[in-house]
Structure 1
Amino acid sequence: MMTFSVKDLKMQFDGTTIFDHVTFTVQNDDWLTITGESGSGKSTLLRIIAGLVDATSGTITLDSKNQWDYDISTYRQDVSYAVQSAQLFGKTVRDNLDLPFQVRNQTPDVNRELTLLRAMDLPESFLDKDVHELSGGQRQRVGVARNLLFPPKVLLLDEISTGLDAETKKTIWALIQQMQDRYHFAILSVTHDGEEIKHANAIMTLEDGEATINERTN
């Protein structure tokens, strides 16, 4: 059983406390959605968890091992971070889907790449499509597919569907739910979308620097 824990996490910036005493634990199949007003620190919290920003104090552990005791590349493979506007690189979609294999010193598996493209309702021909020719929704689907080629232990989702049309949202969330059902990873998501919040089995609200968690039964 995978266990991911955040304990007494505190973040200050220029003398101002963004949040304090943030504590929670998630395990396989958990889905914790983080809500709160703009500026409450939701995205900052995810960036700290992703290993992109240092907290002022507190601890983060994955399977009882401190975040900073991991090789950072290994940690980021286990705790994968998807952002609002996917950052694609190189020339083609293939360049982006090959990357998760390359960082693991593996030969890219074209069949797996094509399977995820189809699941994202993108044609196989997109594998060699120039990334600069993609729409915003297409870029986001490729970015999320890249995160899911190797299912992590914890998937971080930072408002990944903001600005997308309803059909694209439905496609992305259906795949994420399907992959979680199959691979049993935990999800930490930030969203303002009421429909997306329904996916969660727990809601954490950041307000006035404090975190409140409510378990969901439906």
Structure 2
Amino acid sequence: MTIWEKVIRLKSETTTRLYEPAIHFQKVSYKVKDTEILKEVTGSFPKHRITTLVGPSGAGKTTLLKMCNGLLSPTSGEVYVEGLPLQDISPIQLRRQAGMVLQNSPVMDGSVYDNLSLPLRLQGKELSEEKATDILNQVGLDRKYLRRNSRNLSGGQQQKVSIARTLLNESNILLLDEITSALDPSSLREVEELIRKLNEVHQITVVWITHNLEQAKRMGHYAWIMIDGQLVQTGNTSALQHSDDPSVERFLRGEFK
């Protein structure tokens, strides 16, 4: 059975559904000098689902996420994106395919339109106001925001602009790294609703690093738990309720961050 023929079984209380892997890691390790950051990680993120990636600080989560769009390469092992080995996908194509949004995604001083059009300008292309308006509508902002200065927006609105900018590449995978950790409760809810809509309506695969276990339970269909560079548990979100693994259970009880 090839990597691409493998499926992931996600169980609910009433059904079991099968999903192709959007991204698969096969015995992936990563070292910096003599320090092991990732240790033979094997597992898959299911296509069209939201996978939450949780674990203590220093578990290797962000390193893993950066491998999904080629910002880092494994020391050993293989990463497959939609069936293709990472090295067989051009960096430009890969970063369009798997877009990343960070906790503090930068917005430049200028209008929302300026911020949205920047990636296309770097490719020698122009962004029409119609396309800009359409992409803003997808993230819950209307046309009036196009000419507003991005620096004057709320934190939640800035994150929506960052997500819209990523969607302009027509990414079918969204990689999110703690994107709501600095937001107030109202903005957090708005961004969560947006991500849920993008997943449900547009079938975008989401991989979401969060330190908020309640958010992980609330938002995820599937969960990865990482500790000390290792993938120690995967499964549907019930994996975040209880574990027979003592280290995972300590993490879930909040005994170490």
Is 1:215 the counterpart of 2:235? The answer is: yes
Whole-Å Cα distance in 2 between the matches of residues 37 and 64 of structure 1? 30
- What does residue range 126-205 of structure 1 map to in structure 2 within 5 Å? 126-197=145-216, 198-205=218-225
The residue type paired with residue 47 of structure 1 is K
Q: Identical aligned pairs, as a percentage? A: 26
Report the 3-state secondary structure (helix = DSSP H, G, I; strand = E; otherwise coil) of the residue aligned with 1:75: helix
Aligned to 2:72: 53
Is 1:44 the counterpart of 2:45? The answer is: no
Structure 1 position 107, deviation (Å): 4.3
Alpha-carbon spacing, 1:63–1:49, altered in 2? closer, same or farther (3 Å): closer
Unmatched 5+ stretches in structure 1: none
Unmatched 5+ stretches in structure 2: 1-19, 239-257
Larger RCO: 1 or 2 (CA < 8 Å, sep 6+): 1
TM score, norm. by length of structure 2: 0.75
Whole-Å Cα distance in 2 between the matches of residues 6 and 212 of structure 1? 14
Alpha-carbon spacing, 1:104–1:61, altered in 2? closer, same or farther (3 Å): farther
TM score, norm. by length of structure 1: 0.87
Alpha-carbon spacing, 1:177–1:62, altered in 2? closer, same or farther (3 Å): same
> Which one has the largest radius of gyration?
2
Is 1:23 the counterpart of 2:42? The answer is: yes
The answer to whether the 8 A contact 1:2-1:153 is kept is no
Q: In the alignment, which of 73, 79, 87 is matched to residue 92 of structure 2?
A: 73
Is 1:4 the counterpart of 2:23? The answer is: yes
Q: Could you say what the CA RMSD is over the residues aligned between the two structures, in angstroms?
A: 2.4
Alpha-carbon spacing, 1:87–1:186, altered in 2? closer, same or farther (3 Å): same
